Structure 1
Amino acid sequence: MKIISVVCHPLLMATYLSYVLFQEAPELFPRVIPQAASQFILVIFITTCVMPALSIFLLKTFSFISNLELTDRKERIKPFIFIAFYYAASSYLFLVKLEMGPVFMTVMIGVTVLIILLSIITAWFKISIHAAAIWSGVGFVSALIITMGIDLGGYYYALIISAGLTGTSRLHLGYHQPKEVWSGAMFGFWYSFLVMLWFI
C-alpha cells in the first residue's frame, strides 16, 4: 500500500497526465514536435514535481513541518503555498513562453487553482490530497473524452483503477478517514470535470 501511495503521489499527476495525453492525443500539444516529447515531459516533471518536492524537503530539514507525508493538517499550508507557486510559474512558462494549446493550459491553470482551493479547505478540514489529485485527473480525462472524443484506451481504465487503489491505500495506511478520502475524490473529480466542460 505504501508503494501505491508513493507511485500515485499528487506531485506526479501532471507528469502522468501529460505523458498519456501526448501519447494518445498529440494534437493537443501543437507546439511540441515528437522529437522533443521527452524533453517536454521532463520539463513538466521538474517544474511540477522535483522543485515542489525539494521545497517540501527543505521545509522538513528546517523543521517547518514534522514529516514529509504532511500528516498534520495545520502543517500543510506552507507546502501547498510553495506547490501553488511552482504550478503558477509553470503555467506562465507554458502559456507565455511556449504558447501551448488551450487544452493543456486549461489543465495546468485548473490544477493551480485546485491547489489553492485545497489549501483553503485544508485550513478547516483534512481532505485527502492524494484522492483529490488522482480523481482530478479522472475528471479532466473524462471531460476530454466527452467533449473531444479522445480515445485513451486502456490508460483511462488504468487511471480509474489507480484512483481506487490510491484511496484504499490512504485508508489502509491510516492517513485518512473515509470521509476525507471520499470528499477529496468527489471534489477533485467534479471540479476538474466541470472546468474542462466550461472552458473547452
Structure 2
Amino acid sequence: MTNTIIAPAGDGAGKTSGNPLLRGMAHLFSFVFHPLFITAYVMAFIIFVHPYAFAGFDHRTKVMRLLSVILCNTFLPLFAVFLLWRLQLIKSPMLRNEKERIGPYLIAMIFYWWTWLVFKRLPDTPPLAVQFLLGAFLAVCGGWVCNIYFKISMHGIAMGGMTMFFILFAFHDAYGSGLYIAAALLFTGLVCTSRLLLSAHTPFEVWSGIFIGVLTQYIGWQF
C-alpha cells in the first residue's frame, strides 16, 4: 500500500495512508473528538472556564450540570448504539453506512432535545449554554435529514458547530478571544483531515458536515 491517499470512490471507501503513525494519529483524533464528546467539552468550557456564565453556582452544582450533559448527550446515546449492535439491529457500532445511522440519529435527537429543554427550564441557566445546546440539537436534526440522501460526516457536524460557537462567542461575549477560534479551527482541521486519511468520508461529506454544524449553531444562537 502506498503512502499517498487515493481519491475515494463510491461511498467513500478508498485506500488510506500506509503510514502507521499517521493512521494511529488519525484514529486518536477521531476518538478524542468523537461527535458525542464535543457537547460535553464545550459545556465544560462554559461551566468551568468562563468566569461569569456560571459564576453564581457552587462547585457541586456545576459538576452536576456537566454530568447531566455527559449522561444525556454522551453516555446514553453510546449505550443505545451498543444495544442496537448487540441486538443485531445494526451490523457495526462504527455506523459505517446511512441505513445503520437512522436509529442512532433519532435516539440522539431525543436526548439532545431533552438536554436543551431541561437546561432551558432550569433557573439561572445562562443564555450562552441554552443557545449552544439548542444549536447542538438542531445539528443532530440536520445530520439526520442529510443522512437520508448521503452519509454526512458526524465529526464534521460536531467540529463545525464547535468552531461556530467559539466564533460567535468571540464576537458577542466580553470574555471571547481569537485564541479560542484559532484552537477550534486547528482541531477541526486535524479531525476532518483524520477522517479523510482513514477514508471514512469523502471531502464532500466532510465539508457538508462542517456546513451543517456551522449553520445550526448560528440558528441556535439567534434564539
2:31 corresponds to which residue?
A: 6
Measured in 2, the distance between the counterparts of 1:136 and 1:49 equals 16
Flag the structure with higher helix content. Answer: 1
1:159 corresponds to which residue?
A: 184
**How far off is 1:194 after superposition?**
4.5
Measured in 2, the distance between the counterparts of 1:83 and 1:32 equals 28
**How far off is 1:4 after superposition?**
0.6
2:152 corresponds to which residue?
A: 127
Counterparts in 2 of 1:145-184, with a 5 A limit? 145-152=170-177, 154-184=179-209
Matching residue within 129, 133, 141 for 2:166: 141
The structure with the largest alpha-carbon Rg is: 2
Matching residue within 24, 29, 47 for 2:72: 47
Match status 1:95 vs 2:95: no
The aligned amino acid for 1:108 is: L
1:60 corresponds to which residue?
A: 85
Q: TM-score, normalised by structure 2?
A: 0.81
**How far off is 1:37 after superposition?**
2.5
Question: Where in structure 1 do 4 or more consecutive aligned residues deviate above 6 Å?
Answer: none
User: May I ask how many residue pairs the two structures share in their alignment?
Assistant: 198
Measured in 2, the distance between the counterparts of 1:35 and 1:156 equals 29
1:23 corresponds to which residue?
A: 48
CA RMSD, Structure 1 to Structure 2 (Å): 1.9
Matching residue within 14, 35, 38 for 2:63: 38
Match status 1:191 vs 2:202: no
The 8 Å contact of residues 131 and 188 in structure 1, kept in 2 or not, is answered as yes
Q: Deviations over 1:30-72 (max 9, x none)?
A: 6633453233222211111001100011011111111111111
The aligned amino acid for 2:65 is: F
CA distance 1:43–1:153, change in 2 (3 Å): farther
Residue aligned with 2:52, SS: helix
Q: Deviations over 1:142-179 (max 9, x none)?
A: 11211223335644432221111110111111110011
Measured in 2, the distance between the counterparts of 1:5 and 1:92 equals 29
Percentage of identical aligned residues: 25
The aligned amino acid for 1:83 is: A
Measured in 2, the distance between the counterparts of 1:38 and 1:123 equals 37
**How far off is 1:100 after superposition?**
1.8
Q: Deviations over 1:113-160 (max 9, x none)?
A: 221121011000111110111110110121121122333564443222
Segments of structure 1 that go 5 or more residues without pairing to the other structure are none
The 8 Å contact of residues 24 and 151 in structure 1, kept in 2 or not, is answered as no
The 8 Å contact of residues 152 and 205 in structure 2, kept in 1 or not, is answered as yes
The 8 Å contact of residues 139 and 191 in structure 1, kept in 2 or not, is answered as no
Q: TM-score, normalised by structure 1?
A: 0.90
The answer to which of 147-156 and 137-146 deviates more is 147-156
